[in-house]
Structure 1
């Protein structure tokens, strides 16, 4: 990986001239870096910014995060997806309160021991917040290293990731490990793009990048083809009574565990309550990592306010402030708001929502 040795100086110069201004970079305390890194897992920077601001306004310290009620935590996280990230944040905050007297741990090993913190996140926090020379190897970084060095190994393999981490640690400037890691991430996110379309003319490594010099940017990095997702056809019941809509809490394990949802089942499914009327509603599609939900809604006017155990009636205000309903059901929000406000519904259209 000789070409990797040439990378630090031009990369850091490029980063200092081109780095995006981001709030966690402006104030890189351990807590801020940690929250940002967890939010950024499988989520675009632009989508995180408002969530990050609201989250820190509501929970400015580790102690606040440790003490917040779960429903409030889930509401703050609503829309970011992958909700176990938020639960692990709280578990880790409680570890910090109990094991480190509320002070964020400052060694790589201790940071790595926190719930939900893996190699990458531990390296990012250790280097950015504490100046420790630890690599932070995510998908962006793996892509940069594979292309710069011309490495054709499968980047999804743990041994490839470990080997690249060792190589990065050997060339990491000890006086600026945090900037070095962030520069690699930034390069992968903004220049060394995936899907064979990197902006090579803007890259600080263009003079020595093996993939560019051998015209292999479309081939590298190497990773296996994704498996096809399982498709589930689901019926979503939008059940109304007065000025409220029915919600149920999902089970505590599995997909969207513990969150509130509009009742839904695999199609075909009988209406779960006694109904005065049933109408066809909007359709939606949501893509999870391994599953696709293809959903059709039924608008149900309930005959009474009786609901199955554990279900609740929620007003529009409660939907907005109290109950975390995941993005998987965003296609049905206009229909719900239309019924609850009495303003009618827009013509039903398909909606495809993103990964969760």
Structure 2
């Protein structure tokens, strides 16, 4: 997995041949350290390129007595790359970060070891190692959806960080790590709407606050599980606080809408909202596109049916007249007669019984 090349770098082969060789080393995940012997007629550019592109280390020595020790040190360092490396070193600030606010390069105490890691794309690396010129990440951070991730590639106990435990800024460092990793509270608020506009899906965003100078609004849609990189859309400002964008090539469904305020290439405010994208409505039929009244058609209908087009009020109103309506009472009288007939029969039977009782 590791090669140490001792050479002056001078060769009759063209550089293209070495590019192919370097590519094969990269595919096989083999690191190559190069050692330039001497300073006279040494092709350091070739040796440096081979070491850099294969993630090895370049050395140049003039004292041959130092060569065995250098080979042993390089071998021990790269053989241990699979897990961790233990060696006394001082961390080095690689780039500015809120995590390291108020802490400077020379204030860091030494570490005795670190876990070997490799940074992904779009990852901030505030703190790195500085061992034999090799810089591995010690502190890295990045955003994942609404959350944030911080990786510290050493430990926080006596094995590797014995000097850190008693460091005066130990609490400050970890407090800032925790504070940075907490979810941001957006200062802005947005009213988001999605509408169908003649077979187009239009996103409308209205901000509660005006954008500052040199600040722009960027949006992107991602699936709810945050898979993929998301799809960005250009916003068109139609009012001081209102922006619109057509959502092209987006399937109907639920998405996470990320709204970012960007200034000088950096996100200064981030808000994520849920968004339901509806299905597109087909273009309106031609009959709905006709505007105004079809007067000629109305006149034709009036003429054919014997009516009149656009008559006056007097021509369509009727004077009030008394209307007599006759209504039959059979439906009421027949049931009443039937009811009285039954009552009559009952009364007759009752009187007959009373008469018979008196005769006895």
Give the TM-score normalised by the residue count of structure 1. 0.24
Q: Write 1 or 2 for the structure with the bigger share of helix.
A: 1
Query: Computing the radius of gyration over CA atoms, which structure comes out larger, 1 or 2?
Result: 2
Query: By percentage of residues, which structure has more strand?
Result: 2
Q: Which has the higher contact order (CA 8 A, sep 6+)?
A: 1
